[in-house]
């Protein structure tokens, strides 16, 4: 009995080490954000809890056991989108295990998730963004930083992890471009317009040096002089929206949704939006093909030859 407990304990320690190695792989080789890597880790831990309850070795699972796990998630009333995300996390983890030789093949490769709930991406209207932009107090370094944070998220559509990773040297002021290191360590160039440019200059000239007491090379600095984190960005956005009349929650990704939606509403093509967002596949960009009713009406009445009666036909 004692020997069995020792073996089980060693197995659990080894399992945790392997999982931590995978999380490090996501962060340092795949360049996933801390937030995303944490979600992957949580999904894997939840699966481990299930395996322990069923006394199943994580290196020796079967297709039927995976289907049983998915059934358990449904019984917990997990939403389809949540189940699909967890399945994606585990598929990636077991692909890593197969590549590292821990398992012969990926048992999740043939498992399909539930049909996703179709939800349109949530975004802000133009007037709501203007209200957000007017909240920061531009008489303070913190206010200048927060205004730039909003302007840059919207002007570039970058992910929050990409935003906090921007270094001052990555910015080309003359061309109004930024070198972004995205998912999978892939670089891309994003542009920004005049509003963002003005906020950037104001922050660099009148706020950045006051905040940057630790002489960081990154653009966004927190209240203590260190590098602003993803969690810090979310805290700032939550604080800003509470000072508005907007009855919506806020997230960095929601501003990214706004960036893509507004581009499409103004006639930008999907391929261009894909490149601006840094999506590897066009499928990821297709969620933004929704457009507002007003935009649909406008295109219809301007494009369809018999949408309206001309004066000469009356």
Q: Is 262 assigned a catalytic role?
A: no
* Cα 235 to Cα 223: distance, rounded to the nearest angstrom: 12
* Tokens read off for 78: 């997990």
Q: Is 279 assigned a catalytic role?
A: yes
Q: What angle do CA 257, 85, 39 make, to 5 degrees?
A: 85
* Tokens read off for 289: 């093909």
Within 15-146, strands assigned E span none
Cβ atoms of 7 and 18 within 8 Å: the answer is no
Q: Is 256 assigned a catalytic role?
A: yes
Q: Is 302 assigned a catalytic role?
A: no
Q: Is 159 assigned a catalytic role?
A: yes
Taking the alpha carbons at both ends of the chain, their separation in whole angstroms is 95
Catalytic residue among 27, 253, 290, 295: 253
Catalytic residue among 159, 203, 208, 262: 159
Which residues lie across from 189 on neighbouring strands?
Answer: 179
Separation in Å, CA 249 to CA 77, 224, 289? 23, 27, 22
Cβ atoms of 11 and 52 within 8 Å: the answer is no
Catalytic residue among 85, 183, 188, 290: 183
Q: Is 253 assigned a catalytic role?
A: yes
* Cα 278 to Cα 86: distance, rounded to the nearest angstrom: 23
Cβ atoms of 176 and 193 within 8 Å: the answer is yes
| Count of C-beta atoms within a 10 Å radius of residue 87 | 21
Catalytic residue among 86, 256, 257, 262: 256
Catalytic residue numbers read 159, 183, 253, 256, 279, 288
């Amino acid at each position: 009995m004692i020997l069995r407990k020792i073996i089980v304990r060693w197995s659990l320690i080894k399992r945790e080490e392997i999982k931590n190695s995978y999380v490090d792989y996501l962060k340092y080789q795949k360049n996933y954000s801390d937030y995303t890597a944490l979600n992957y880790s949580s999904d894997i831990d939840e699966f481990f809890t299930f395996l322990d309850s069923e006394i199943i070795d994580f290196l020796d699972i079967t297709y039927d056991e995976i289907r049983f796990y998915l059934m358990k998630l449904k019984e917990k009333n997990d939403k389809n989108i949540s189940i699909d995300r967890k399945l994606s996390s585990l598929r990636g983890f077991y692909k890593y295990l197969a590549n590292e030789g821990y398992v012969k093949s990926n048992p999740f490769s043939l498992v399909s998730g539930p049909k996703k709930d179709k939800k349109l991406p949530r975004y802000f209207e133009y007037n709501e963004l203007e209200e957000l932009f007017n909240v920061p107090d531009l008489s303070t370094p913190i206010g200048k930083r927060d205004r730039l944070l909003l302007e840059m998220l919207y002007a570039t559509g970058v992910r929050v992890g990409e935003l906090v990773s921007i270094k001052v040297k990555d910015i080309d002021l003359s061309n109004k471009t930024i070198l972004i290191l995205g998912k999978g360590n892939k670089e891309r160039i994003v542009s920004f317009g005049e509003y963002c440019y003005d906020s950037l200059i104001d922050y660099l000239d009148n706020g950045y040096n006051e905040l940057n007491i630790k002489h960081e090379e990154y653009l966004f600095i927190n209240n203590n002089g260190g590098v602003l984190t993803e969690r810090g960005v979310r805290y700032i956005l939550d604080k800003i929206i509470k000072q508005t009349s907007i009855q919506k929650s806020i997230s960095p990704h929601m501003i990214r949704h706004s960036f893509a939606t507004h581009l499409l509403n103004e006639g930008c093509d999907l391929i261009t939006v894909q490149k601006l967002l840094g999506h590897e596949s066009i499928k990821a960009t297709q969620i933004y093909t929704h457009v507002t009713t007003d935009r649909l009406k406008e295109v219809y009445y301007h494009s369809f030859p018999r949408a309206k009666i001309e004066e000469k036909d009356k």
